[in-house]
Structure 1
Amino acid sequence: MRDLLPWTLIRRPSTLAALTVLLTCVPQDQADQTSAVHVTMADVASVVLIAATAVFLVTGRASLPRRAVVVAPLVIAATIATLASPDMGTSLPGHIRYLQVFVLIPLAVLVTLRERIDAWLVGGALVAAAAVQGAVGCYQVFTGTGASYGGERVRAVGTFGALDVMGMATVVSFGAIILLGTGLTTRGRPRIAAFTGAGLLAVPLVLSLSRGTWVAMACAALVMLVMYSMRTAARVVMVMSAVAVLLVLGLGVGSDTIGQRLASITSSVTEPDRSVSDRYDLWQAAEGMWVDHPLTGVGPRRFAALRDSYAPTGLSSGSDTEDPVNGYQRQPLLSPHNMYLLVLSEQGVVGLAAFAFLFGALVLWSVIRRGLVITGLLTWVIVDFAYADIGGAPTLVTATVLGVALSWSAGGWS
Structure 2
Amino acid sequence: MTVTVTQAPPPAALPAVPPRRWWPVLPPVAIVLLLAAPGSGGLGGGGVGGPGVLTPADLASGALVLFCLLRLVRTGARPLTWAAVAVFGLPVLAVAVAAVTAADPGAALPGAVRYLQVFVLVPAAVLLLLRDAADVRAVAAALIALALVQGAIGVHQYVTATGASYRGENIRAVGTFGPTGVMGMATVVSYGLLAAAALALWPPKGAPRWLRPAAAAAAAALVVPLVLSFSRGAWIATGAALLALLLLAGVRAALAVLTALTALAVVLVGGFGVGSALIGERLGSITQVTAAPDRSVNDRYTLWAAAAGMWRDRPLTGVGLKGFPDHRDGHATIGLSAGSDTAGAGHAFHKQPLLSPHNMYLLILSEQGLIGLTAFATSWGALLARGHHRLRRAVRARDCGALAVAFALWQSVDFLYADIGGPSTVLTGVVLGLAAWWALSPSYDGRGVDGSDPYGTYRTRPLGDSRAVPGGATAA
Quick check: TM above 0.5? yes
- Residue of structure 2 equivalent to 1:3: none
- Distance (whole Å) between structure 2 residues aligned to residue 133 and residue 206 of structure 1: 13
User: 2:329 is matched with which residue: 304, 308, 314?
Assistant: 308
**Quick one: which amino acid aligns to residue 381 of structure 1?**
Q
CA contact (8 A) 1:177 1:376 kept: yes
User: 2:54 is matched with which residue: 39, 49, 60?
Assistant: 39
CA contact (8 A) 1:366 1:408 kept: yes
**Quick one: which amino acid aligns to residue 378 of structure 1?**
A
- Distance (whole Å) between structure 2 residues aligned to residue 131 and residue 242 of structure 1: 21
CA contact (8 A) 1:9 1:15 kept: no
Dislocated runs of 4+, deviation >6 Å: 241-248
User: 1:62 is matched with which residue: 56, 65, 78?
Assistant: 78
Question: Shift of residue 51 of structure 1?
Answer: 0.8
2:349 aligned counterpart, secondary structure: strand
**Quick one: which amino acid aligns to residue 60 of structure 2?**
A
The alpha-carbon distance between structure 1 residues 400 and 31, as it changes in their structure 2 partners (threshold 3 A), is closer
Query: How much is the aligned-residue C-alpha RMSD, in angstroms?
Result: 2.3
- Distance (whole Å) between structure 2 residues aligned to residue 110 and residue 195 of structure 1: 27
Question: Shift of residue 206 of structure 1?
Answer: 0.9
- Distance (whole Å) between structure 2 residues aligned to residue 113 and residue 162 of structure 1: 34
2:418 aligned counterpart, secondary structure: coil
The alpha-carbon distance between structure 1 residues 231 and 408, as it changes in their structure 2 partners (threshold 3 A), is same
Instruction: Give the number of equivalent residue pairs.
Output: 406
**Quick one: which amino acid aligns to residue 126 of structure 1?**
L
CA contact (8 A) 1:146 1:323 kept: yes
- Residue of structure 1 equivalent to 2:459: none
- Residue of structure 2 equivalent to 1:382: 412
**Quick one: which amino acid aligns to residue 123 of structure 2?**
P
- Residue of structure 2 equivalent to 1:253: 273
Question: Shift of residue 184 of structure 1?
Answer: 0.5
Question: Shift of residue 62 of structure 1?
Answer: 3.1
CA contact (8 A) 1:30 1:326 kept: no
Question: Shift of residue 377 of structure 1?
Answer: 1.2
- The 10-residue stretch of structure 1 (123-132 or 29-38) with the greater mean CA deviation from structure 2: 29-38
**Quick one: which amino acid aligns to residue 44 of structure 1?**
L
- Distance (whole Å) between structure 2 residues aligned to residue 31 and residue 11 of structure 1: 31
- Residue of structure 2 equivalent to 1:366: 387
- Distance (whole Å) between structure 1 residues aligned to residue 305 and residue 171 of structure 2: 31
- Distance (whole Å) between structure 2 residues aligned to residue 346 and residue 11 of structure 1: 41
CA contact (8 A) 1:9 1:16 kept: no
Deviation per CA, 1:103-136: give whole Å up to 9, x if none: 0000000011012222122112111111111111
Return the TM-score normalized by structure 1. Answer: 0.92
**Quick one: which amino acid aligns to residue 36 of structure 1?**
P
CA contact (8 A) 2:41 2:177 kept: no
- The 10-residue stretch of structure 1 (390-399 or 27-36) with the greater mean CA deviation from structure 2: 27-36
CA contact (8 A) 2:41 2:181 kept: no
User: 1:71 is matched with which residue: 81, 85, 88?
Assistant: 88
- Distance (whole Å) between structure 1 residues aligned to residue 371 and residue 250 of structure 2: 38
- Is residue 2:424 matched to residue 1:394? yes
- Residue of structure 1 equivalent to 2:122: 105
- Distance (whole Å) between structure 1 residues aligned to residue 257 and residue 351 of structure 2: 40
Higher-helix-fraction structure = 1
- Is residue 2:228 matched to residue 1:212? no
Q: Percent identity?
A: 47
User: 1:198 is matched with which residue: 198, 219, 226?
Assistant: 219
- Distance (whole Å) between structure 2 residues aligned to residue 122 and residue 184 of structure 1: 18
**Quick one: which amino acid aligns to residue 359 of structure 2?**
N
Larger Rg: 2
Return the TM-score normalized by structure 2. Answer: 0.80
- Distance (whole Å) between structure 2 residues aligned to residue 246 and residue 270 of structure 1: 31
Residue segments in structure 2 that go unaligned for 5+ positions in a row: 1-18, 392-400, 447-476
2:346 aligned counterpart, secondary structure: coil
- Residue of structure 1 equivalent to 2:338: 317
CA contact (8 A) 2:359 2:418 kept: yes
**Quick one: which amino acid aligns to residue 138 of structure 2?**
L
Question: Shift of residue 57 of structure 1?
Answer: 2.1
Question: Shift of residue 262 of structure 1?
Answer: 2.3
Deviation per CA, 1:151-182: give whole Å up to 9, x if none: 11111000001000111000000000000011
Query: How do 1:72-87 and structure 2 match up within 5 A?
Result: 72-87=89-104
- Distance (whole Å) between structure 2 residues aligned to residue 159 and residue 174 of structure 1: 16
User: 2:169 is matched with which residue: 132, 152, 166?
Assistant: 152
**Quick one: which amino acid aligns to residue 48 of structure 1?**
A
The alpha-carbon distance between structure 1 residues 240 and 192, as it changes in their structure 2 partners (threshold 3 A), is closer
- Residue of structure 2 equivalent to 1:120: 137
**Quick one: which amino acid aligns to residue 256 of structure 1?**
A
2:117 aligned counterpart, secondary structure: helix
- The 10-residue stretch of structure 1 (40-49 or 180-189) with the greater mean CA deviation from structure 2: 180-189
Deviation per CA, 1:238-278: give whole Å up to 9, x if none: 66568778989x66423222222223334356442110110
- The 10-residue stretch of structure 1 (26-35 or 157-166) with the greater mean CA deviation from structure 2: 26-35
2:45 aligned counterpart, secondary structure: helix
Deviation per CA, 1:294-317: give whole Å up to 9, x if none: 111111111011111111111001
The alpha-carbon distance between structure 1 residues 279 and 29, as it changes in their structure 2 partners (threshold 3 A), is closer
CA contact (8 A) 1:247 1:256 kept: no
User: 1:166 is matched with which residue: 183, 188, 199?
Assistant: 183
